[in-house]
């Protein structure tokens, strides 16, 4: 039975520097992978068990990795490099495009101009900004953010 | 103004045979990766006029030598005359930040130059090809 799977396009990343002030949206965002949510399996099988047993360890998160159409002078891109330079711990917000549709059939925004959808919030450090300049294509940059501490999940209806 | 990330010829101008009036025809295609706009052909015309390749709306209509779309009437004699036709293009380059319209449509156009003299047609096609090579620039229609 299908459950109306949605398009990934429109998933956005916004950053709040040092966890203070307004979020700015990362522009020219191409393919990216939100932090995978993980736990290590810990085997607890005893000698007298006839099948294996496991528990899981603490909550872990992988890296946020993605690519931008890199424009070095664009403010949101310059801020990414600045976060790498200073090693600042910023707040990252991923908004999925599962909110109600907007008037133009695209996505909906709230009164503050923020996209509506399920959100993942976490703090993290920029650990990689890797530009790439293919002679026959656009200037792009890969980026990586290492999340730390807890992640907050906000449902689309609450966001 | 429309942002062009890239405008490039897809091949060098080449001989495509004679037209119905026995004139030589030289053609090539261009592809633009650009911001969304409804004025693609007008933007290409503006590049041709600004680059002194030809005239689209001169004071004397007889001086006109740039024509657009299959509807435009190209004179049956003389030349060189350049005609420009949009040919659809490819799927856009998408980003998450823009859905509709797409961030970077990839539009294509065919250029055909007709002239009784093959070298005249080739010369005008090469001049057009030279102005259709852009990177990271605004173009005003």
Q: What is the pLDDT of residues B101-116, one digit of tens each?
A: 999 999 999 999 999 9
Assess if residue B140 is contained within a domain.
no
- Looking up tokens 């996505």 gives A107
Q: Are B141 and B47 in contact (CB under 8 A)?
A: no
Assess if residue B65 is contained within a domain.
yes
Q: What is the DSSP string of B41-73?
A: HHHHHHHHHHTTS--SS-SSGGG--EEETTTS-
The β-bridge relationship of strands B66-68 and B81-86 is parallel
Q: Predicted ipTM?
A: 0.89
Assess if residue B114 is contained within a domain.
yes
Does residue A23 have a pLDDT over 50?
yes
Chain B neighbors of A102, CB-CB under 8 A = none
Mean pLDDT of B75-80: 95
Does residue A35 have a pLDDT over 60?
yes
Assess if residue B29 is contained within a domain.
yes
Say whether A138 and B33 touch across the interface (CB within 8 A): yes
Assess if residue B82 is contained within a domain.
yes
Give A66's DSSP letter: E
- Looking up tokens 């002679």 gives A135
- Looking up tokens 């509506």 gives A116
- Angle, in degrees to the nearest 10, between helices B40-50 and B118-131: 110
A22-26, A113-117, A147-151, B86-90: least confidently modelled range:
A113-117
Out of A25, A104, A105, closest to residue B97 by CB = A25
Which among A18, A21, A13 is positioned nearest to A86, based on CA atoms?
A: A18
Higher model confidence: residue A109 or residue A64?
A64
Quote the minimal CA–CA distance from A137 to chain B in Å. 9
Domain extent for B104 = 2-135
Question: What pLDDT was estimated at residue A2?
Answer: 86
Assess if residue B141 is contained within a domain.
no
Q: What is the pTM of this model?
A: 0.89
Higher model confidence: residue B120 or residue A101?
B120
Chain B neighbors of A12, CB-CB under 8 A = 96-97
Q: Are A116 and A100 in contact (CB under 8 A)?
A: yes
Structure tokens at A94: 């991923």
Mean pLDDT of B107-128: 98
Question: What pLDDT was estimated at residue A32?
Answer: 98
Structure tokens at A148: 């730390």
Domain total of chain B: 1
Does residue A106 have a pLDDT over 70?
no
At residue A80, the 3 state secondary structure works out as: helix
Question: What pLDDT was estimated at residue B69?
Answer: 87
Chain A interface test: which of B36, B96, B103 (most A C-beta within 10 Å): B96
Residues whose CB is less than 8 angstroms from the CB of residue A111 and which lie 6 or more positions away in sequence, other chains included: none
Out of A27, A32, A106, closest to residue B99 by CB = A106
- Looking up tokens 């005609």 gives B83
């Amino acid at each position: 039975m299908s459950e109306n799977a949605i398009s990934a396009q429109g998933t956005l990343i916004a950053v709040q520097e040092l966890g203070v002030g307004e979020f700015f949206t990362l522009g020219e965002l191409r393919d990216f992978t939100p932090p995978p949510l993980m736990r290590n399996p810990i085997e607890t099988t005893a000698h007298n068990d006839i099948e294996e047993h496991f528990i899981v360890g603490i909550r872990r998160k992988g890296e946020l990795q993605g690519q931008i159409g890199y424009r070095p002078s664009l403010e949101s891109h310059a801020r990414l490099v600045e976060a790498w330079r200073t090693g600042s711990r910023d707040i990252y917000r991923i908004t999925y495009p599962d909110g109600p549709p907007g008037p133009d059939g695209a996505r909906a925004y709230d009164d503050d101009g923020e996209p509506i959808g399920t959100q993942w919030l976490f703090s993290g450090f920029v650990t990689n900004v890797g530009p790439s300049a293919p002679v026959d294509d656009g200037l792009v940059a890969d980026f990586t953010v290492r999340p730390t501490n807890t992640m907050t999940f906000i449902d689309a209806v609450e966001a | 103004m429309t942002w062009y990330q890239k405008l490039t010829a897809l091949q060098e101008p080449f001989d495509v045979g004679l037209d119905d009036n026995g004139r030589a025809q030289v053609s090539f295609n261009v592809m633009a990766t650009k911001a969304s706009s409804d004025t693609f052909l007008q933007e290409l015309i503006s590049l041709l006029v600004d680059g002194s390749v030809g005239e689209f709306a001169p004071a004397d209509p007889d001086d006109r030598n740039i024509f657009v779309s299959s509807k435009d009437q190209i004179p049956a004699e003389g030349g060189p005359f350049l005609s420009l036709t949009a040919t659809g293009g490819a799927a856009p380059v998408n980003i998450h930040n823009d859905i509709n319209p797409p961030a970077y449509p990839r539009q294509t156009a065919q250029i055909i130059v007709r002239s009784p003299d093959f070298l005249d047609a080739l010369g005008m096609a090469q001049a057009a090809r030279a102005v259709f090579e852009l990177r990271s620039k605004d173009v005003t229609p």
